[in-house]
Every structure is written in C-alpha cells, then in structure tokens.
C-alpha cells in the first residue's frame, strides 16, 4: 500500500507541472508576454516548458527522482518569488503559498526518495 500511495503522491505533485507546460505550449505568445511583464525575457518560456515536462515525468517514473525533485523545488521557489510576490493580490498570495508548498513536497521526495515502484529502486540481494 505504501508503494501505491508513493506513486500516487508523485503523480499528484507532478500533474500540475505537466498541465501547466501544455497550457504554456498552447498559449505560447500569451505566456511569453506574461513573463516579459515581470522583466523576464520571453525566450525563457522554452526552458521552463522543458523543465515542466521532463522533470515531473522523471519524478513519476522514479528515475533520478531526487535530483529532479531538487531542481523542481528550486524552480518552485524561484517562480514564487519572481511571479507571485504581490501579496496585495489574494490570488498571487495563494499562488505564492502553493509554490512554497510544492517545494516542500519535492524536498520530501529529495529526503526520502521513492519506494519500490520506481525505475531506480534499490536492488535487494540475498546472500546465500
């Protein structure tokens, strides 16, 4: 049961990034303009999309999940402070706290790793 819940948790925490990446792809011009409104060059949308697709997939399948989760935790913190630091706007405060919470979830994966349902699961050898 713990293995199943671990996998479900990795899917849940990663789903937000996959959906966000596809929204950015289908609204590329709007996403670039939104980033530029914060003083971030619009071409950074392409590495952001790559991060939001590749790293969550690695977390879900459990391949180098600790490294991927650590990069995603940093990504969440950076985006929280760049794009959601206007606490006078309630929706921005909620987005800021969401990103901080996601960073905490990814740090949990960094510390604890994944359970048995992962590509990188540790092999257990029995010595005879």
d(CA 30, CA 25): 10
pLDDT digits (tens, 9 = 90+) for 72-95: 999 999 999 999 999 999 999 999
pTM of the model: 0.91
6-43 per-position pLDDT tens digit: 999 999 999 999 999 999 999 999 999 999 999 999 99
d(CA 91, CA 65): 30
């Amino acid at each position: 049961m713990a293995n199943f819940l671990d996998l479900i948790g990795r899917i849940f925490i990663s789903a937000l990034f996959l959906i966000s990446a596809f929204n950015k792809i289908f609204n590329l011009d709007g996403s670039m303009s939104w980033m530029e409104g914060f003083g971030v060059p619009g071409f950074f949308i392409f590495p952001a999309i790559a991060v939001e697709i590749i790293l969550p997939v690695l977390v879900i399948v459990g391949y180098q999940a600790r490294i991927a989760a650590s990069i995603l935790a940093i990504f969440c913190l950076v985006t929280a402070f760049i794009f959601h630091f206007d606490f006078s706007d309630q929706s921005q405060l909620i987005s800021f706290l969401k990103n901080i919470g996601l960073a905490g979830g990814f740090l949990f994966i960094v510390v604890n790793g994944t359970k048995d349902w992962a590509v990188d699961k540790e092999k257990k050898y029995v010595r005879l």
